[in-house]
Structures are given as structure tokens and as C-alpha cells.
Amino acid sequence: MSGRTTGLTPPEDSKAPVRHPDAPAPGETLGAHYDQCFGCGHQPGGLGLTTRAGEGVSVTAEFTVRTGHQGAPGLAHGGVLAAALDETLGSLNWLQRVIAVTGRLETDFVRPVPVGAELHLEARVDAVHGRKIYCSATGRIDAPDGPVAVRAQALFIEVRVDHFIENGRTEEIDAALADPDQVRVARAFEVNP
């Protein structure tokens, strides 16, 4: 036991999330934070999630379940659905201009998601307490108002860019640091309101 509190309920003295003044406008597509990201990057084995800014500190995303995403015959793997939720929640970083990583992700699998279905995801920040960002997400089948298939509550923890530089494999970190587009993305996140 670490003694760490794992509750996902924001403390009473939490603050409302703040949308950064330079955040992308509602409806604008958010780019990939890293081209080789499994969730939002451009690689054959990935989820290929496209995310758009919503109102306030919220985003929407769509993800089509493909044959390579199966757990049971014809059904999406729960871990893949959790990854889609995690990625959608992670892209809320773009609207706050804060770099944060998932500390805790709690997922409810409400109904099975068949291959070929399009999962419509919606995520929002509910509250902020220091470095802790409390957020939630929902995934619906085939339409923004379709039946709910998955729900998540999560706690993201704000980190500095050094988190990646110190912990990532040297090969990829060196390549990222040598890529001006990647450095621009990382810098943009470091400018806080």
C-alpha cells in the first residue's frame, strides 16, 4: 500500500478549469501531440483518433473500430476502448496548454462495441486542484447521441516537459528534440495561462 489517495472526486476547494486564451476555437481539429503516438499519431497500428476542440474545456473525437482492435470475435477489445478514452482525455491538454499525464483512469464498459462501429467520444475537465486535473469522458456508438458504450473518470497530473526527456528512450527523445515541429508543440504546452 502506498498510502496514496486514489479517489477521483475533486476536493471541495478545487477550481473550475480555465480555457487558455490561445486554445483552438470550438470545432477546430487538434493535431497529433506526437506523430508516433498510438492514439493520435499517424501510424498503421494506431487508433488514428481525430479530436476537435469543444466549448469550454471539452473535446470530441471519433474512432472507428477495425478488425485489428478485436478482443472477442467481432467486438472491440476493452483495452483499446480504454486507450481511446485515455487519448481523448489527454487531448484536453491542448485547451489548457498544460502538459499532463494520466495518473488514474477508471473505465465503465456499458455495452459491447462491434467492429465497424464508430465510437463518438466526448471529454471534459471537471475540476483542477493544483497539479491534479479531474476529467471525464463518454463514448457512444455510431452517433454523438447514440447509445453509451463506455464511460471514464480520470485524474491527470501536470508534469514538465522534462518528464518525457528524463524518462523516454534516448533514441526517440533525440529524434523529437531534433524535430522543430515537435519542439514547437512541446513549447506551446509549456506556456501556462
Ligand X SMILES: CCCCC/C=C\C/C=C\C/C=C\C/C=C\CCCC(=O)SCCNC(=O)CCNC(=O)[C@H](O)C(C)(C)COP(=O)(O)OP(=O)(O)OC[C@H]1O[C@@H](n2cnc3c(N)ncnc32)[C@H](O)[C@@H]1OP(=O)(O)O
**Closer to ligand X at the Cβ: 75 or 188?**
188
Of 99, 128, 133, 150, the residue at the interface with ligand X (CB under 6 A) is: 99
User: CA geometry: angle at 21 spanning 145 and 41, to 5°?
Assistant: 55
User: Given the C-alpha cell 447514440, which residue does it identify?
Assistant: 146
- Sequence-distant (6+) residues with CB within 8 A of 152 are 82, 85, 86, 89, 105, 106, 107, 108, 136, 137, 138
Q: How far is the CB of 117 from ligand X (least distance, A)?
A: 22
**Closer to ligand X at the Cβ: 145 or 169?**
169
Window contacting ligand X (CB under 6 A); options: 62-70, 87-95, 120-128, 144-152: 87-95
Cell representation of residue 30:
487538434
Contact between 4 and ligand X by CB under 6 A: the answer reads yes
User: Given the C-alpha cell 501531440, which residue does it identify?
Assistant: 33
Q: Closest-CB residue for ligand X?
A: 90
Map the footprint of ligand X across residues 50-69, applying CB under 6 A. Answer: none
Of 85, 90, 125, 153, the residue at the interface with ligand X (CB under 6 A) is: 90
User: Given the C-alpha cell 476502448, which residue does it identify?
Assistant: 81
Of 52, 77, 132, 151, the residue at the interface with ligand X (CB under 6 A) is: 132
Contact between 42 and ligand X by CB under 6 A: the answer reads no
Rounded to whole angstroms, the Cα distance separating 65 from 141 reads 10
Of 76, 133, 137, 189, the residue at the interface with ligand X (CB under 6 A) is: 189
Cα 83 versus chain centre, distance: 8
- In terms of Cα–Cα distance, which of 98, 83, 86, 164 is closest to 132? 98
Q: DSSP states of 134-150 as a string?
A: EEEEEEEESSTTS-EEE
Contact between 5 and ligand X by CB under 6 A: the answer reads yes
The residue ranges that bind ligand X (CB under 6 A) are: 4-6, 33-34, 39, 86-87, 90, 93, 99, 101-104, 130-132, 155, 157, 159, 161, 164-165, 176-177, 182-183, 185-186, 189
